[in-house]
Amino acid sequence: MELDFAGLDSRIAYRWMASTITPRPVAWVSSLSGTDVANLAPFSFFQMITASPPTLIFSPLIQSDGRAKDTVANIRETGEFVVNLVSFAQIDLMNATSFTFDPNVSEFEACRVPSEASRRVRPRRVLGAPVAFECKLAKLMPYPEASPSCFVVFGEVLYAHFDESILGAGGYVDPERLNIVSRMGGNWYGRTASASNFELERPAGWDRQQKV
Which helix (H) or strand (E) covers residue 151, if one does? strand 150-162
Predicted pLDDT of residue 169: 87
In terms of Cα–Cα distance, which of 125, 140, 141 is closest to 29? 125
Which candidate, 201, 72, 209, places its Cα nearest to that of 140? 72
Delimit the domains of the chain by residue range: 5-210
Query: How buried is residue 60: exposed, middle or buried, by Cβ count under 10 Å (0-12/13-18/19+)?
Result: buried
pLDDT on residue 106: 97
- pTM > 0.85: yes
* Structure confidence at residue 209 (pLDDT): 65
User: Residues 80, 29: contact at Cβ < 8 Å?
Assistant: no
Tens-level pLDDT at each residue, the chain (212 residues): 898 999 899 899 999 999 999 999 999 999 999 999 999 999 999 999 999 999 999 999 999 888 999 999 999 999 999 999 999 999 999 999 999 999 999 999 999 999 999 999 999 999 999 999 999 999 999 999 899 999 999 999 999 999 999 999 889 999 989 999 999 999 999 999 888 889 988 888 777 766 65
Q: Which of 87, 59, 52, 56 is nearest to 162 (CA)?
A: 87
Around Cβ 159, how many Cβ atoms within 10 Å? 14
Q: What is the model's pLDDT at position 204?
A: 83
- Span between the terminal Cα atoms of the chain, in Å: 43
Q: 5-210 adopts what CATH topology?
A: Pnp Oxidase; Chain A (2.30.110)
DSSP 180: B
Rounded distance, CA 132 to CA 135, Å?
10
CB 48 within 8 A of CB 56: yes
